[in-house]
Amino acid sequence: MKAAFSTLGVPGLPVADVVRLAAGHGYHGVELRAHPEEPVHPGIGPAERAAVAAEFTASGIEIMGLAGYARVAAPGDDGPVLGEIRALLDLARDLGAPSVRVFPGGGGEQSPSEADAIAARRLGTAAEYAADVGVRILLETHDSHPTGADVMRVLGAVGHRHAGALWDVMHTWLGGEQPQETFPALSPYLGYVQVKDIASTEDRTPLPLGSGVLPLTECVEVLSRHDWDGWLCWEYEKRWYEAAAPLPELLGPGRRHLARLLGESA
C-alpha cells in the first residue's frame, strides 16, 4: 500500500510547498482538495493546470486523487450536478489524476431508496464521460450514505467500472460498521481509503494518527489480509478545526505510524 495525505490538512498551501512536504516526509502521493479556496480547482486555466502537473511529475510525487464536492444524491435537477462532476473530471484528466471524489449528499425529505436512485442515475451518466477521459469517480462513505452497505446499494445499481468507492474509515465507524464488514461490501469498487483519527463520536477534532479511537489497525489488517494494494490517504481535517495542531509537524510521525501498521519502514 502507498501513503498519501490530503491538502485539506494544509488549506491554501501553494502546490510547490505541498510537494516538498510530501517528498520530505516519505509520502508517495497527495490528494488535492479541488475547491476555489485552494490553488487547484476546476476554475484554473490550461497553463496553471500544466504547471501543476509538471511540478508533481518532476518531484515523483503522484496526484492520487482530486477531492471534489459534487453531491450525487442531492435533491434537484441533474444538470448542475453532472456539470460539476464533468468539470472535475476534466481537471483530473489535465493533471493526470486517476480519480475524483464525490459525496452522496442525500437529505431533506428523501427516502433512502429515492436518494439511491438519484445517485445511481447521475453516477451512471457521469461514468460514461469518466470513461471517455480515463478518470474514475469515487463515491465516498459520507453523510447520507456513511457505510459500505449504503454505498454498495448505489454502486451495485450503477454497475460501471468507472464508478467506484472511497472508504472514509471515520464515517463507516460512526455508522456502526467495522472494517471486516466494510471491506467485503466495498472491495469490488474500492478506489482508495481515507484514514484519520478522532477522540470520540462527540469530539471529531483531528488527532495525530494512532492517538484516537478509530480502528486503523483493524482497517489495515483487513486490507493486508486480502492483499489489497492501493492508497491510504491521511485526511486531516484542519480546514474545519482551526484549533487542531498544524499538519506539517505531524506528517513525519504520521508516516511512521502508517509504516508500523503496514510492517514496513517509512
Cβ proximity of 133 and 85 under 8 Å: no
Report which residue type is found at 84: E
Q: Give pLDDT, residue 108.
A: 86
Q: Give pLDDT, residue 264.
A: 79
Domain that holds residue 240: 2-262
CATH code, 29: 3.20.20.150
Residue from 113, 84, 118, 116 nearest 101 by CA: 84
Q: Give pLDDT, residue 33.
A: 98
d(CA 176, CA 163): 24
Q: Give pLDDT, residue 129.
A: 98
Q: Give pLDDT, residue 263.
A: 87
Q: Give pLDDT, residue 266.
A: 43
Residue-by-residue pLDDT tens, the chain, 266 positions = 999 999 999 999 999 999 999 999 999 999 999 999 999 999 999 999 999 999 999 999 999 999 999 999 999 999 999 999 999 999 999 999 999 999 999 988 899 999 999 999 999 999 999 999 999 999 999 999 999 999 999 999 999 999 999 999 999 999 999 999 999 999 999 999 999 999 999 999 999 999 999 999 999 999 999 999 999 999 999 999 989 999 999 999 999 999 999 987 54
State the maximum Cα–Cα separation within the chain, in Å, rounded to a whole number.
50
d(CA 215, CA 169): 8
How many domains would you assign to the chain? 1
> What DSSP letter does each residue of 67-100 carry, written as one string?
EEEEETT-SS-HHHHHHHHHHHHHHHHHHT-SEE
Polymer length of the chain: 266
Planar angle of CA 38, 75, 105, nearest 5 degrees: 45
Residue from 182, 163, 166, 172 nearest 221 by CA: 182
